[in-house]
Structure 1
Amino acid sequence: MNFKNRYLLIIAAVFWFSNAFAQSTTAYSWTNLPQIKQPVFKKDTFLITTFGARPDGHTLNTKAINAAIEACSEKGGGVVLVPAGLWITGPVVMKSNVNLHLRVAATLLFTPDKIQYALTEGFYEGKSAARNQSPVSGIDLENVAITGKGIIDGNGDAWRAVHKSQLTESQWKEKLASGGVLKDDGKTWYPSEQFKKASVGNKSMLLTPGKSPADFADMKDFLRPNLIVFNNCRKVLLEGVTFQNSAAWCIHPLMCQDLTIRDVRVKNPEYAHNGDGMDIESCKNFLIEGCTLDVGDDAICIKSGKDEEGRKRNMPTENGVIRNNIVYNGHGGFVVGSEMSGGARNIFVQNCTFMGTDKGLRFKSVRGRGGVVEKIYAKDIYMKDIAQEAVFFDLYYFVKFATDGERDMRPVVNEGTPVFRDMHFENIVCNGAVKGVFVRGLPEMPVSNIVMENMVLSADKGIELTDADQIRFKNVQLITKETKPVVFMENSSNISLDSIRYDVESEVLFSVSGERSRNITVQKTDVSKAKKGIEFQKGAQEKSLIINPGK
């Protein structure tokens, strides 16, 4: 099928599904979404220039900016105003009842001088760890905001390593000229010898019993800070500002309640290791809307702690609304995991566009994490040029399989078994991906009870399910390059395929594999248009799939 015909088919299918979508009903309500309380501030304004700050791109303004924030909070709160200019600063510590407002053309540029950042207790990927102090932080606050049209820049290139393959030739030459050291093979640049030793030696930054941040002084350069960290805060607002160039994660609210992130821009280089856009961790009642992200790792990511430490915290990320956002580069557009040991639930994702991300809707975990991810709802999601999968579930995150691809069987379910269940995705359009849908659960804990309806997926491959249970596809158009098969199901059960449309010239429509496959039903789908409607492999029985063409 040529490009023009494929495009026309997509447009026709979108109209068809939009009509079907309008007539569909669901068991949950999009009209009764979680409510998020907003912070309110006094009108009193504190200019940072009054406290001695200078916008000359040279003066270190750390003391002046923090003095303005402190004075504002002590007098009952208000606005700390950052006028237009290039303001060099070290770490900024937020206080309750303070709105840090950056006017247009105001840039807070954080110094690359690592001495300015104290070693402190923090978190790394869901576990307690030694970190350098974040450029912007707040702990145990209420009523706090960062607003305006300015820029907060973390100067992340001073902190992060980069591989030669991630840069152009001219960028690599520029990096070498900036200083730093190379790995022995000459293919990785490190910002310092200290960083290199910690990285090559695979040194841990985790705070185990008996260790304090001071014990990590010999690897300080390696302990990259997250740009914005709010820990255990209530009524937090980030609005209008551009957050960019973070050393590690960009925006990291942790254990916060009533969080709003609105109309912000988040930008990191594509090569930024751990360059996530937003990591919402163990937060309750949150709204992310109207944001634009272009980052080096996951874009909008839901987390809740890692492994036993996350399970003991037992704080799910819950009651969230994510809408009207655009994601360009990123490992995933909307992501849950892999550090989700405290669980996630009651999250609504609507009217988002992913343009060129690695994956679209991305769910990931692994044995040992534990946690329950459930009641995730997504609709009106539009994707283009997805590098890998449009919809992706994988409970073998970072697991290497044997050459034969076999997965080990562990029938025992315990507190470390992750659970992904009870989700509903509808009105999803993807024009370009390697796979439309990929689901890989665990033999002992399949990904279960997922409904996907009213979808148009143009991809190299259609649908692939392994260790999945109670998965329902309804009104799905699959426009695929590879058609042998269009839908692959391995050791999966209770699968419903209702009103599936596919390319007429498909070699094999449904392939069923594995002796644990059972109770697969196909209805309102014309199997005869494929050269071969169904095939059974690796012990799958013919009775595992039933066709009801008229129902």
Structure 2
Amino acid sequence: MSVVKTRIGIAVLLLAGCFTSRVQCQQYSWQHLPQVNKPVFKKDTINILKYGAKADGITLNTTSINKAISACSAKGGGVVLIPQGLWLTGPLVMKSNVNLHVSRAALLQFTDDKTQYKLVEGNYEGHAAVRNESPISGTNLTNIAITGEGIIDGHGEVWRAISKDRLTEAEWKKLVASGGVVSENGRSWYPSESYVNGLKAAGAGVVGNGKTIKDNEPFKDFFRPNMLVLTNCKKVLLQGVTLQNSPAWNIHTLLCEDLTVQNARVRNPWNAQNGDGIDVESCRNVLIEGSTFDAGDDGICIKSGRDEEGRKRGKPTENVIVRNNVVYRAHGGFVIGSEMSGGARNIFVSNCTFIGTDIGLRFKTTRGRGGVVENIFIKDIAMKDILHEAILFDMYYGGKSPGEADDINDRAVVPVTEATPSFRKFYVNNVVCNGAEKALMIRGLPEMGIKDIHIENSTFKTVKGADVIEAQNIFLKNIHLESKETNPLINVQNSSSLTFDHITYGNTELLFKVSGKKSQQIKLLNTDAAKAKNKAEFASGATKNAITGSN
């Protein structure tokens, strides 16, 4: 049995209950991290100049670079060198045993000529779908890498639609003058009529049910490619390079094993539509470290397929280490979901900093997804200037909560099925957040609450405190909440078996608002409730017996 299997097997036994102490569980898990194997390459090097490539910014080098990659692989592998210069190219296809090395100050610029990208059957947001061929792709490969300190640019601005309110007036005028189509209300810009037709066409991009790739050709521009897509590959390394300006997601790894991302830089404009930094989908044994993300959507994101299709695939993303990374503007710093129907487990996130992201730690799903997300370990996270929640668990992503009126959540009328998602067994330690709208939001479903969330030794300087809605077995210890709005500081709705141990705070009007008949067994330990003007209010069926302890 391999070291990886041995360690993960022990960890699973541990998390199943072999050790009963929460502290033991966390310590043991951090001491037994997954092992990720890196690719190894021959030293033989092929310079793309040998195959006629020209760095004049005009010559399309697609054939030259692909010939170099194929020749290198055919000889048993090695390095394909892209030297300093501006190299214009169309889609590149990786081959086994090849390290594509982009030299310092080399710019690998993908063409804005969309005719160079053929329509293919691919995968998008968890579903099989028609896409344009990715600028860089690889399928069923072993031992591949993209390294160096050069820049890979996807020319994404010619693919993406954008709203007028996401540009300055000067930027908008320049964009409209470049061509494309402006919406009837004048608020949005689209790259072409083909894009608009795809936007309006029901079922555009669907493969199957009698639909073919050819049927989707009238909507070609609508099928924006992810820039780097690696599918079912083993021993993958992305190291040092800058990947930027993608048409849709920047890096998408699907069904890969032994994936290492080290010291990479991922850059997209803040307003890039679906401009995720990296999406790791249904992969196992993954290391993402020392990298910097500045994205138009989620920064570092874990996925595993969407709805029935993802459940049928049944491949969780598992055995993942995310450490020593920085995420700037993004919808979420570290994210799981919302396409997580195959599940996610055994994930370790540490020593990361999020600056200016919409949300810091973002865990999202919704009814219909199914899937279990569990055994998530997070520690030593710094956040600054977070737009919304520092930590968010939300099972209503893309939908609406059953009601702002507390008593509506008492009606668990939706049955639990395989399409019901589950979040459980999260262990979070040492989060420091200086600036956010809200410290914590936990919002589960009435039929499936969020369970077993442990947050300890953390400080939040925010506008609002915490919401705990439809949750069970939530444990907060050594938490400091410095919030501007404190009526209430902590809002509890239809949640039970909650422990608040050593909660400190500033001037507070109301420490707790508790509502809903299901709210009970709330323990307040080692906390000076007398500092608040009012300890608790109860509504919508909750009673004062819901809270015990007042020291």
Q: TM-score, normalised by structure 2?
A: 0.94
C-alpha separation between the residues in 2 aligned to 1:25 and 1:434? Answer: 33
Q: Does 1:470 align with 2:453?
A: no
Q: 1:83 maps to which residue?
A: 83
Unaligned runs of 5+ residues in structure 2 are 1-21
Structure 2 residue identity aligned to 1:88: L
Q: Indicate the residue corresponding to 2:512 in structure 1.
A: 510
Tell me the alpha carbon deviations over residues 177-205 of structure 1, each in whole angstroms, 9 at most, x when there is no partner. 11111111111111101111222445532
Measured in 2, the distance between the counterparts of 1:517 and 1:65 equals: 63
Aligned counterpart, 2:545: 543
What's the CA shift for 1:404? 5.3
Which residue pairs with 1:423 in the alignment? 426
Retained in 1: the 8 A contact 2:107–2:152? yes
Give the superposition deviation at 1:538: 1.1
- Greater alpha carbon shift after TM alignment, 137-146 vs 507-516: 507-516
* Equivalence for 2:385: 385
> How much does 1:403 deviate?
7.5
Distance in 2 (CA, whole Å) between partners of 1:411 and 1:179 is 49
**CA positional deviation for 1:411:** 4.4
Aligned to 1:15: none
2: CA distance between counterparts of 1:548 and 1:375?
Answer: 32
Task: Structure 1: state its 5+ residue gaps.
Answer: 1-22
Please report the TM-score for the alignment, with normalisation by the length of structure 1. 0.94
Shift in Å, 1:410: 3.0
SS in 1 for 2:428: strand
CA-CA distance at 1:24 after TM superposition? 6.4
On the 8 A contact 1:127/1:206 being kept in 2, the answer is: no
More moved, 312-321 vs 200-209: 200-209
* Distance in 2 (alpha carbons) for counterparts of 1:93 and 1:241: 17
Whether contact under 8 Å (2:374, 2:424) holds in the other structure is yes
Amino acid at match of 2:153: D
Structure 2 residue 422 is the aligned partner of structure 1 residue 445: no
| Alignment match of 1:520 (pick from 505, 510, 522) | 522
Partners of 1:450 and 1:380 in 2: how far apart?
Answer: 17
Deviation at 1:534, TM superposition (A): 1.1
Partners of 1:54 and 1:170 lie apart in 2 by 35
- For the residues of structure 2 that align with 1:441 and 1:338, how far apart are their CA atoms? 14
Q: SS of the residue aligned with 2:30?
A: coil
Q: How many residues get paired?
A: 526
1:466-513 Cα deviation digits (max 9, x unpaired): 00100000000000000101111000000000000011x210001111
The alpha-carbon deviation at position 541 of structure 1 amounts to 1.1
Verify: 1:483 aligned to 2:506, yes or no.
Answer: no
SS of residue matched to 1:430: strand
Q: Structure 1 residue 136: deviation in Å?
A: 0.2
Q: CA contact under 8 A between 2:528 and 2:550: conserved in structure 1?
A: no
Q: What whole-Å deviation, never above 9, does each CA across 1:127-174 have from its counterpart, x for those lacking one? A: 000000000000000000000000110000010101000001111111
Report how far residue 175 of structure 1 moved: 0.4
Give the deviation of 1:270 after TM superposition: 1.0
Contact 1:131/1:213 (CA < 8 Å) preserved in 2?
A: no
SS in 2 for 1:73: helix
Whole-angstrom CA distance in 2 between matches of 1:43 and 1:254: 28
**1:409 paired residue among 366, 390, 412:** 412
- 1:493 alignment counterpart: 496
Partner of 1:57, secondary structure, is coil
How far did 1:401 drift? 5.0
Question: Which amino acid counterpart does residue 529 of structure 2 have in structure 1?
Answer: V
Indicate whether 1:312 and 2:320 are aligned: no
Q: Distance in 1 between matches of 2:145 and 2:107?
A: 16
Identify the residue that residue 434 of structure 1 maps to in structure 2: 437
Letter in 1 for 2:523: T
In structure 1, the partner of 2:106 is 106
Distance in 2 (CA, whole Å) between partners of 1:378 and 1:79 is 36
Q: Secondary structure at the match of 1:59?
A: coil
Partner letter of residue 54 of structure 2? R
Give distance in 2, aligned partners of 1:214 and 1:276. 28
Deviations 1:501-550 (A, max 9, x none): 011x210001111111011000000100100011111110111111153x
Q: 1:239 to 1:275 in 2, by over 3 A?
A: same
For residues 425 and 278 of structure 1, what CA distance do their matches in structure 2 show? Answer: 22
Q: What is the identity percentage for the equivalent residue pairs of Structure 1 and Structure 2?
A: 55
> d(CA) in 2 for partners of 1:345 and 1:400?
27
